[in-house]
Chain A
Amino acid sequence: MSEVVKFGRPKGFFETFERRPGSIKKNMSYCPGCGHGVLHKLIAEAIADFGIQDKTTLISPVGCSVFAYFYFDCFGLQVPHGRSAAAATGLTRANPESIVIGYQGDGDLAAIGFNAFIQAANRGENYCVFFVNNAIYGMTGGQMAPTSLLGQKTTTSPYGRNALTEGYPLKVCEMVSQLEAPVYVERVALTSPANILKARKAVRKAIQISMEKKGFAFVEVLSGCPVNLKLKPADMDKFIEENMTKYFPLGVFKDVADEREPVKRAVPVYDREKVEETLYRAMPGGNEAHESLDSPLFDRELRVKIGGFGGQGVLSLGLILAAMGKYRNLNVSWLPSYGPEMRGGTANCAVILNKGAIGSPIVDSNCDLLVVLNRPSLDKYLPELGENGVLMYDSSTIKDAPKVKPGQKAIAISAGDIAEEFGNLKCANAVMLGAIGAMLTKYYLTPADAAKFQETAEAAIAECFAGKDKIVKMNAEACKLGFTKMQNAQS
């Protein structure tokens, strides 16, 4: 007798599930009668039939199907709970040629990951989602899901789900189909063979839409969890058909696949030169040739911290310093930290200048230059000042001279008073910048670098306040004034 296989183990699965612990390598880890297995087969069959295993990534969720990558012979990604849509967005944007399948349960998609999911749907990301709705949390032992039915008893709704306290079951298909971007939205059920064949058609259509790059395709699959619903596997279909489909009607909610053109997004670039060009050289000042600093001070990493009240220009002073570094060929980082209020809270920023690469932008120790514009910042950050560090403080707000350790320098400048005299208290930060310049000139800079200070500061100020000519001019003058005042005080 000769015979051929008409229906058999889909080629989209591994021949044996070697990653699965234990001795059973041919079966998946699902309970008897579980819907996951049925849907897995439909997906595995489709990716093998379409010949796309080499470019398909299946994103497995958190839930019973967490180990889906044990089974599918394609690329797999396991993501944190609910983050499937975010990972899928990254995958399909980074590699538009890849076919991405999101596989999510009701807790993953309709609860913790609902925002990520609905935003991805609304952006029309080019991938397909199979949403397994079994009206309960399976893996964790039968708690209420967003899609649990009204009156349904679960371990967390022992008297039955009540709309007044737990709300109504979430109708995801209905919601997604209202959005503009999705291409195809259908709800199917894994019950009778006829319904499973409809589900098969839907799975294949959704994957085909992804292959044609037409955008977001969504299939909600009503599936059984006989264990947690405390039903015999054979009675599961009856429950779905008699109870679930009343609230979650089956059918196509949206299908505009024929009208849609393939989605065309910017093509990602992986050429290193081009990436660097875009990231760094296209920035203001990034393209021009600059003179490098020759003072020995810059032969090592310089760590700066600036603290004060919000509104004193703490963050801008840091930005200007960082921009100055950029105009003298240094690598720079600027890390702001501030309270929720725009004015009056505390603010600080960390600036790092380095001829080499910068590892971390954080400055919380070994600070070389600490600039404080108020008392609380002095108290808080003085312990972070390094062995030979320099403290510059605004003596118009900090009256008593701070005690620094031997080797450290404490330099006072009444930046606030000078700025007020100058005509605008807001310029205290620029006065402080000038004072920093005078301090550096006196102790650290070579004459050639010192001569360039004012010019570099002005270029940085012009960049930071671009388009506000009056403010640029005022700050440049305040900086000059701060420089002179400090120089006079030092001599």
Chain B
Amino acid sequence: MSQVVKKKFRCHPEPNECKGCGRCVNACPKKLLKLGSALNIMGVPYAEYVGDGCIGCGACFYTCPEPGAITVFEITGED
């Protein structure tokens, strides 16, 4: 019997490219992003990925107005 392999993902918000608008925080269906209290080089609190369980939907990536502030990785191996 074939086994359904559940894909795993990881979201990485780049602290120094985030302007702290919070769009990704609203967009994440799993509520895995939040704005921290530390400030980045632009002087704003930046989005952070908290916990795990990213489903790789891309909502945070497309809603983010910055070109490379958010990257979503697909985890292809555990090694």
Contact = CB atoms under 8 A, between A and B. Distances in A.
Contact of B62 (A1, A3, A4, A197): A197
Given A7-B58, A38-B63, A41-B67, A32 B21 contact: yes
A193 B20 CA distance: 18
B28 to A, nearest CB: 9
Interface string B26-50: 1101000000000001101000000
A226 B74 CA distance: 33
A6 B76 contact: no
A7 B61 contact: yes
A315 B41 CA distance: 69
A192 interface: yes
A125 interface: no
Given A6-B58, A6-B73, A193-B59, A30 B79 contact: no
A306 B77 CA distance: 87
Given A27-B19, A234-B23, A40 B67 contact: yes
A174 to B, nearest CB: 27
A233 interface: yes
A28 B71 contact: no
B71 A8 contact: yes
A1 B74 CA distance: 11
Contacts of B75: 1-3
Q: Is the interface of A mostly helix, strand, loop or mixed?
A: mixed
Contacts, number: 114
A161 B29 CA distance: 37
B77 A1 contact: yes
B79 to A, nearest CB: 7
Interface string A30-52: 11111111101110100000000
Contacts of A28: 65-67
B78 A1 contact: yes
A127 interface: no
Contacts of A24: 41-42
Contact of A27 (B17, B57, B71, B79): B17
A311 interface: no
Contacts of A200: 62
Contacts of B63: 38, 193, 196
Interface string B7-27: 001100000110111110111
Given A1-B78, A32-B19, A8 B62 contact: no
B74 A4 contact: yes
A7 B23 contact: no
A185 B66 CA distance: 27
B26 A7 contact: no
Given A5-B73, A6-B56, A10-B67, A233 B22 contact: yes
Contacts of A5: 71-74
A153 B9 CA distance: 44
A326 to B, nearest CB: 58
B68 interface: yes
Nearest to A196: B62
Contact of B65 (A26, A36, A192): A36
A29 B32 CA distance: 27
Given A27-B19, A32-B44, A193-B27, A38 B62 contact: yes
The interface centre, meaning the residue of A3, A26, A33, A42 with most chain B CB atoms within 10 A of its CB, is A3
A343 interface: no
Nearest to B75: A3
Nearest to B19: A32
A13 interface: yes
16 contacts: A2-B75, A3-B74, A6-B56, A7-B71, A9-B67, A32-B21, A37-B67, A38-B63, A38-B64, A38-B65, A40-B65, A41-B65, A41-B67, A233-B23, A234-B26, A237-B23
What are the 5 A-B residue pairs with the smallest beta carbon separation, nearest first? A37-B65, A9-B68, A33-B21, A193-B59, A233-B21
